[in-house]
Amino acid sequence: ATEITWWHAMDGALGGVVDQITADFNASQSDYHLVAVNKGGYEDTMTAGIAAFRAKNQPNIIQIFDAGAATIINAKGAVKPVQDLLEENNVKFDINDYIPGVRYFYADSDGKMIGMPFNSSTPLLYYNKEALAKAGVDVPKTWQEFEEAAPKLKEAGYIALAQSHSPWIFFENFMSRHNLQMATANNGYDSTDVEILYNNEALKDHWQHVKDWKDAGYYGYYGRAWGANQDAFVQQQVAMWIGSSGSFGGLRKSAQFDFGTSTLPYWKGVGDAPKSTFIGGASLFAFSGHSAEEDAGVAAFFQFLTKPETQYYWHKETGYVPITNAAYELAKKDGYYKESPDAEVGIQQLSEEGGDWTKGYRLGFYVQIREVIYREVDKIMNGEETVDAAFNTIEEEANGLLKRFNDTYSN
Ligand SMILES: O=P(O)(O)OC[C@H](O)CO
């Protein structure tokens, strides 16, 4: 059998599900043997992939997260558009088979699909049912409702909220949820000559509130580490946690209490809220430079991955949303959401009404821009910097990075 390799960023419980899908693909046919290798987190996997491509020993498939999409799509010649790869190998492909939110996040400006959607997510509010009952509060749908509930949760002995991944949840998805423009040039889709629009009153006001919540003991800030914020929820110190829908499967195993999921809260009266969130997670890219036979193996695997049964399995085990309409229908038909209504919230949020600024963004060096955001959020939270100063820095450094990207890759 022809061997094909897949470098991915799924570890822990998610890695186990990837291994199972890999084994299932290998058992389903005998022409190809897929080897899946975990390369650490999203950033590590992307760095390893770029280094391997430069050294001419790139794997066949690499998983690249949302923040890295622009970099890989603009690196002309590095990847083979998935749409071409599938068509060349006679695998039926119709972009309309995918749920709307997924369709264009990994497509080029002409709408051609470049990356194969795989693990798509959205931020969810996870809540501890007993904590909310003790405090006598309902799940907050808006930040105004959160402000009413927070003191009661504190009274009941809980920190009201923690959150993982500030750039993703409280920057990118803040803009989408309120239908606010994130960057010039159509959120970066029309040109690499682009500037960030984060330095705005709505977003700064949100962060001033977050800082005030922290100071009042309503918001737990455990640094940038995803796990530390999630752990505070698992250990029942915080009553609610905002994280990825992709954490649903893992939490179901680790939380020793009853929890539910709800949509990402929004500020009533700000922008055009509530609108659908951006698609999160990652997709799979086929590196170029491989033989036609290996490329055929990649196409066969992508075909396997898109089957409603595979998608449904992945969705059920992990909490990542079903990315094709057929998989979503299968889950409904199977009664999955009747048995587990909290598992449908992610896909429902992604299916909420969209607006001009909910389709996604395409910004180069965005992985580095997130690093700037993480650093500045730390400073706001630790009281080292005012919100205004932090946002001025974010704007200046982000625009510097965008300019550098444009100078290198202008299109
Ligand atoms: O944790 P994930 O896989 O849902 O990804 C969240 C963000 O989109 C990563 O950039």
- pLDDT digits over 319-342, tens only? 999 999 999 999 999 999 999 999
Q: How far is the CA of 244 from the centre of ligand 1 (A)?
A: 6
Cα separation, 144 vs 126, whole angstroms: 18
pLDDT digits (tens, 9 = 90+) for 204-260: 999 999 999 999 999 999 999 888 999 999 999 999 999 999 999 999 999 999 999
Q: Which residues contact 236 (CB under 8 A, 6 or more apart)?
A: 128, 131, 158, 257
Which residue, chain included where needed, has tokens 């690093």? 371
Is residue 51's pLDDT more than 70?
A: yes
- The preferred substitution site among 244, 314, 317, 347 for testing ligand 1, maximizing ligand atoms within 8 Å of CB, is 244
Cβ(382)–Cβ(407) under 8 Å? no
What is the pLDDT at residue 93?
Answer: 86
246 lines ligand 1 (CB under 6 A): yes
Query: Residue 101: its pLDDT value, please?
Result: 79
Q: How far apart are CA 117 and CA 285, in angstroms?
A: 9
Residue minimizing CA distance to atom 6 of ligand 1: 281
- Contact 168 CB / ligand 1 (< 6 Å): yes
pLDDT digits (tens, 9 = 90+) for 74-110: 887 899 999 999 999 999 988 889 987 788 788 887 8
pLDDT of residue 411: 58
* Predicted-complex ipTM score: 0.98
The pLDDT tens digits for 270-318 are 999 999 999 999 999 999 999 999 999 999 999 999 999 999 999 999 9
Centre of ligand 1 to C-alpha 65, Å, is 7
Please report the sign of the dihedral spanned by the C-alpha atoms of residue 377, residue 380, residue 384, residue 388.
positive
Q: What is the pTM for the complete model shown?
A: 0.96
Alpha carbon of 90 to those of 34, 65, 86, 300: distances in Å? 20, 27, 6, 10
| Element spanning 2, H or E | strand 2-8
Q: What is the DSSP string of 127-190?
A: EEHHHHHHHT-PPPSBHHHHHHHHHHHHHTT-EEEEES-HHIIIIIHHHHHTT---BHHHHTTS
Choice from 102, 168, 171 to test ligand 1 binding pocket (greatest atom count within 8 A of CB): 168
117 by DSSP, 3-state: which? Answer: strand
CB of residue 280 inside a 6 A radius of ligand 1: yes
